Amino acid sequence: MPDDRAVDDRAQKVIVQDVVIRYERAGFAVTAVEGLSLSVRDGEFVAVVGQSGCGKSTLLKAIDGLIPVASGYIEVDGRRVTRPGPTKAMVFQDGRLLPWRTVLGNIMLPLEGRGVPKAEAHDRAMALVERVGLTRFAKAFPNQLSGGMQQRVNLARALVVNPQVLLLDEPFAALDAQTREYMQQELLNIWERDRVTAVFVTHQIDEAIFLADRVLVLSSSPGRLRREFVIDIPRPRQLAIKRTPQFHAYEDAIWSEIGAFGGDTSGAPVQPVVTSGAVA
Amino acid sequence: MTAGLPAEAAGLPVGLAGTPSNVTVLARRRGAPRFTLQLISVVGGLSAWQLFAMSGIVPPLFLPKLSDVLVDLWNLVSTGKLNQHLLASGIEFGGGMLAALVVGIVVGIGMGASSRIDKLLVWWVSALDATPRIAFAPLLIIWFGIGLESKMVLVFISGLFPILLSTASGVRTTSRELLEMAESFSIPRLMQFRAIILPGAVPFIITGVRLGITRGLIGIVVGEMIASTQGIGWMLSNATDTFNMVRVFALIIVLAFVGVSLTTFARWLERRFDTWRAV
Ligand SMILES: Nc1ncnc2c1ncn2[C@@H]1O[C@H](COP(=O)(O)OP(=O)(O)OP(=O)(O)O)[C@@H](O)[C@H]1O
Ligand SMILES: [Mg+2]
């Protein structure tokens, strides 16, 4: 991969260095992540793929500061992460919306938590409701929304705090294929505006390639960085690029990387048929 | 679509039978006989009572005529006698329930949120909850006299525990996922409580209140029957002592009406707040 890309001049926004994460439960410990090192540059969109249980969610939660590292360290903006903070925001796989609050109320929650005055919180949340295309549903409750709409609220709730680092944990995994593709495009359109640093965890290889500047492949149990792929496809991207030979070549390369160590691809999508072409 | 099945079976075109307007018609047709059945049941039952009492098979002391009971009820209402005693019972019930609500919710939240408070109180709460509340009635009358206060306290301890226990379990069952989300967005503790834990517990609290109301109603009638100077329970025991069976039946009808009204109200509240529990 070429090294002279503009991307590489940007400052390191997130640094994960030799990180070990263990879960203690009833006396015995499970090592979820071991010796993981990676970094994300400012404004970079990085996708993380790997088999189920390899520690992707754990990594995201640790970057967010929800769980501590047993050894190694995580830095955001050069500062050690010890707990969640105002510069980071998480989009959870399961919506985690408050069922008793409206769409608007859910998006206002993080602002209220920060003591933003009600009127200002309302206006900022409303602006995001519009940005994710839910204006007509601002007063609806989550159980009145489709899965795709709920995930937009989930995304809006994270974006409303103007995070510098956006952490997304399989936000589209529960959606049907069509809605998922639609949401991928929506996410990119929204992201194009201020190109906030993003770490996007997913099982879908094509989703990772379509969205990301770089795809990191984690090895399974315990999680380590197996390999990374720089996705050299120009932005802004449209869904049509998924049918280009270049895209298929990336898919092919990442699939063979996953196949090289896993073997077990149960629960993962069927390998796509590669037509022709090589990585540009 | 279930509404389409009978039509299919009957060989009708499904698309036609399954239109929304047809579904509404079906529902309406199904609703009407249900109401008619209820009406038949009530009117039929009451007529049977009247006819049976008129037949003279049983002496009036066992079963007075419904017509006599209704006349007595009308007299009670028109002379204001019933109102006066209902008011007394209402004050006892209202005061006791209000205190039960406040204490039950506050202590319930404490026990649900802090395992230390829970450990401190759990034995007392379980023991008192398991004891039939009526057993306290004689004691309360000795402590608080035969006036309104003893009954108020009886309603309080009757309604308290269901409210307290379901509030505590409502607070305890707050979703871990929602709390982790709140943590991730650095929502302060107090706001987590106000915006997440409490609203999540509301349906549990309402269920507790419904149970509390039922138990409080029992408490008030029995408490007044044991020792008092006024109230519906006092009227009831007075009528029994003088073998005034017409009056006894009139008062039972009043109590049935009050009980049904209160539980209907509580169920309505429960349903209102249930819309978000069912997510
Ligand atoms: N709360 C927990 N307590 C104990 N072990 C846990 C906990 N959460 C995760 N683990 C373990 O840590 C490992 C990594 O889990 P994690 O959820 O990070 O995987 P993942 O890559 O996100 O998987 P998936 O793709 O299925 O979401 C797994 O072995 C899992 O069993
Ligand atoms: Mg996960």
Closest partner residue to A96 (CB to CB) among B177, B191, B277 is B177
| Ligand 1 pocket mutation pick from A57, A60, A200, A201 by most atoms within 8 angstroms of CB | A57
**Domain match, A173 and A262 both:** yes
Binary contact (A92, B181; C-beta < 8 A): yes
Residue nearest to atom 13 of ligand 1 (CA): A32
**Domain match, A12 and A36 both:** yes
**Domain match, A74 and A210 both:** yes
Span A261-275, pLDDT tens digits: 544 444 343 333 333
* CB crowding B106-120: b at 16 or more within 10 Å, else e: ebbbbbbbeeeeeee
Report H helices in B55-147: 66-78, 81-113, 115-130, 137-144
**Domain match, A153 and A219 both:** no
Task: Name the domain boundary from A107, A128, A162.
Answer: A162
pLDDT of residue B275: 60
Residues in chain B: 279
- Answer yes or no: are the C-beta atoms of A279 and A253 closer than 8 Å: yes
**Domain match, A168 and A77 both:** yes
Q: Which residues line ligand 1 (CB under 6 A)?
A: A 23, 25, 30, 32, 52-58
In chain A, the number of structural domains is: 2
Distance of alpha carbon B211 from alpha carbon B101, whole angstroms? 12
Q: What ipTM is given for this predicted complex?
A: 0.85
Span B12-30, pLDDT tens digits: 333 333 334 444 445 555 5
Domain-located, residue A2: no
Paired strand residues for A41:
A12
| Residue located via tokens 């090289």 | A260
Query: What residues have CB less than 8 Å from B215, skipping those under 6 apart?
Result: B133, B158, B159, B162
Domain-located, residue A274: no
**Domain match, A63 and A168 both:** yes
**Domain match, A77 and A176 both:** yes
| Residue located via tokens 């073997």 | A263
Nearest atom of ligand 1 to the alpha carbon of A55? 18
**Domain match, A185 and A63 both:** yes
Paired strand residues for A91:
A168
Domain-located, residue A3: no
Domain parsing of chain B, residue ranges: 22-55, 66-277
Span B164-213, pLDDT tens digits: 999 999 999 888 899 999 999 999 999 999 999 999 898 899 889 999 99
Which 8-state DSSP code applies to residue B252?
H
Residues in chain A: 280
Beta strands in chain B (DSSP E): none
The pLDDT mean for chain B works out to: 85
**Domain match, A124 and A180 both:** no
**What element of type H or E holds B152?**
helix B148-172
Range B66-277: architecture per CATH? Orthogonal Bundle (1.10)
Question: In this structure, are strands A88-91 and A224-230 parallel, antiparallel, or unpaired?
Answer: unpaired
Binary contact (A96, B178; C-beta < 8 A): yes
Greater model confidence, A240 or A279: A240
Binary contact (A96, B186; C-beta < 8 A): no
Task: Name the domain boundary from A127, A145, A162.
Answer: A162
**Domain match, A80 and A177 both:** yes
- Secondary structure (3-state) at A150: helix
Paired strand residues for A40:
A14
Q: What is the CATH number of the domain that holds A175?
A: 3.40.50.300
**Domain match, A106 and A128 both:** yes
Domain-located, residue A16: yes
Domain-located, residue A36: yes
Domain-located, residue A275: no
**Domain match, A106 and A227 both:** no
pLDDT of residue B177: 92
What domain range includes position A213? 8-87+164-266
Distance of alpha carbon A216 from alpha carbon B105, whole angstroms? 50
pLDDT band at B32 (very low <50, low <70, confident <90, very high): low
Task: Name the domain boundary from A144, A162, A180.
Answer: A162
